[in-house]
Amino acid sequence: MRLLLLAPPGAGKGTQARRLAQYYGIEDISTGALLRREVAGGTALGREATRYLDCGDLVPDELMLDMVVEAVTEADRKGGFVLDGYPRNLAQAEAAQQLARTHGIGIDGVVLLEVGQDELRRRLLRRGAGAESRSDDNIETIRHRLEVFESETRPLVAYFAARDLLIAVDGEQPVEQVTEDIVDRLAGRAVRP
Ligand code: AP5
């Protein structure tokens, strides 16, 4: 199983990626988590990425690609992946299609988690007030992350729908129900094991 997760900040990409990875026995790849690991490790990529992460802007495409290619091709060799957070703009979507063609990796579905803006803000502010808080979980940066999603990432909904890959799921339901809906919808498609 090879899946992409496409959804605004706070919609549950990370939560569902972990659950789907466990369900299908595949790798969970989060580009945000990979970047935060680079930042924590003080690598050159991490030092470059930190200012984008902290203000909620997208990290430049050229910094993302190598990291994604390495993680995805390795996970593909092990049997599949759920990729959370890539692509996030049309240039990245084209790069992902190219990567898929070059390495013979077919994508089985692109899951869109639909959650309203008020609920997204509530979730991120709640996380920001707790032990799991991230440097981008503050009101200003949350607002900007949501704007970036609408302007940069939202166009990918039509992009993947046109390629008959989009699976839209109500992400405001309880976590377990969201997973169940995704699994049911995927079962209805002709996907590889
Ligand atoms: P990333 O780490 O991907 O963050 P994000 O997109 O802002 O999304 P979040 O991780 O905040 O939310 P989520 O949708 O994963 O939801 P979660 O499961 O955590 O990216 C961070 C930054 O990295 C970007 O801003 C950018 O700078 C950079 N970056 C990453 N990828 C990039 C790329 N491809 N190109 C360029 N730059 C890139 O859940 C959120 C909260 O809600 C949690 O508290 C959770 O417990 C709760 N929750 C989840 N599901 C439910 C539910 N069903 N009901 C109630 N609560 C729920």
Report the length, in residues, of the chain. 193
Over residues 129-140, mean pLDDT: 95
Is a pLDDT exceeding 60 seen at residue 193?
A: no
Question: Whose Cα sits closest to atom 46 in ligand 1?
Answer: 15
Give the pLDDT band (50/70/90) at residue 191.
Answer: low
Is a pLDDT exceeding 80 seen at residue 149?
A: yes
pLDDT > 90 fraction of the chain, expressed in percent and rounded = 93
Per-residue confidence (pLDDT) for residue 165, from 0 to 100? 95
Q: pTM here?
A: 0.96
Whose tokens are 């924590």? That residue is 40
Give the pLDDT band (50/70/90) at residue 190.
Answer: low
Neighbour count for residue 78 (Cβ, 10 Å): 10
- What's the whole-number average pLDDT of the chain? 95
Whose tokens are 């990290």? That residue is 59
Active site annotation includes 19: no
Strand-pairing partners, residue 81, are: 2, 27
Burial 39-59 (b: 16+ CB within 10 A, else e): beeeeebbeebbeebeebebb
Give the Å distance between the CA of 31 and the centre of ligand 1: 10
First to last CA, the chain: 6
Cβ(57)–Cβ(29) below 8 Å: no
